[in-house]
Amino acid sequence: MEVILVSIWGFMDVHKLHPKFDLIHERFDDIQKEFKDNLEHIQFGHWYDDFAHSQSGGVYNPVAAPLYGEIEEEQEQLCMIEQFGHDFYEKDGLRTHKNVNWVPTLTKTLQDIGITRRASIASMKPKAKIPLHRDGDPNPPDGIVLRGIIGLDVPVEEGKKCYIMVRDRPKKTWQTREIKNQSVCLFQPNAIHSVINQLNGWRYVVLFDTVVWFEDYPEVVKSCRTTGCWANLD
């Protein structure tokens, strides 16, 4: 399984944050089959009612299916509470959407790994582009939020791919990684990034948030929260 963390100062291994991440690989066939079998029942919606990225020069409205998230006021928009509030319930300290009933293997695997902050499934139509932007997601006072993308159902087409570009600020270059089935890419959401789908088919990924805590990685300076810089956890 390809596991990549796009970092402004280099690459980090997701296993440093979640040692059990190989569970995704071990259970992937069941996870993907369950998703495909139940796709028609999963409830998708626009992530934001009125949303524009100032960095993009335009407006796009991401489409996602919420799964669960921590019960915090600042997480309400990210968990799509306004759109699906009546379909959420509290379970094990998490705000949980009924979508989890259609993907129980995925949900259990993510939580077995230790991903609790937020999880959803995002779709992207064929030949689409999410323009350059930053996500203004809140960070806890003692850590940095990282966003993960797991390839859930990505068509395989010769000469075409789906990929993410993330700005490497100190080097003033772009780092590009292909999004494939089972691939995992982590990036800081307030770094400038873009996603391009060259494929002729729809692309589905798991989106999740996790946190690098300063106490676990003291070399991560708090200025990272606002500058977009990353620390090398290798």
Q: Cα–Cα distance between 174 and 54 in angstroms, integer?
A: 19
At 56, the pLDDT band (50, 70, 90 cuts) reads very low
How do beta strands 3-7 and 184-187 pair? parallel
How would residue 13 be classed by pLDDT, with cut points 50, 70 and 90? low
Q: Would you state the pLDDT for residue 60? A: 53
pLDDT at position 170 is 64
SS3 143: strand
Residue 111 has pLDDT above 90, yes or no: yes
Residue 26, C-beta contacts closer than 8 angstroms, at least 6 positions apart = none
The residue with tokens 């999963």 is 42
pTM of the model: 0.82
What share of the chain has pLDDT > 90, as a percent? 34
Contact status, residue 131 vs residue 83, Cβ threshold 8 Å: no
**Residue carrying the six token digits 């690459």:** 11
Domains and CATH numbers, the chain: 3-227 (2.60.120.330)
Residue 83's pLDDT band (cuts 50, 70, 90): low
**pLDDT tens, residue by residue, 139-175:** 777 877 888 899 999 999 999 999 998 877 666 778 8
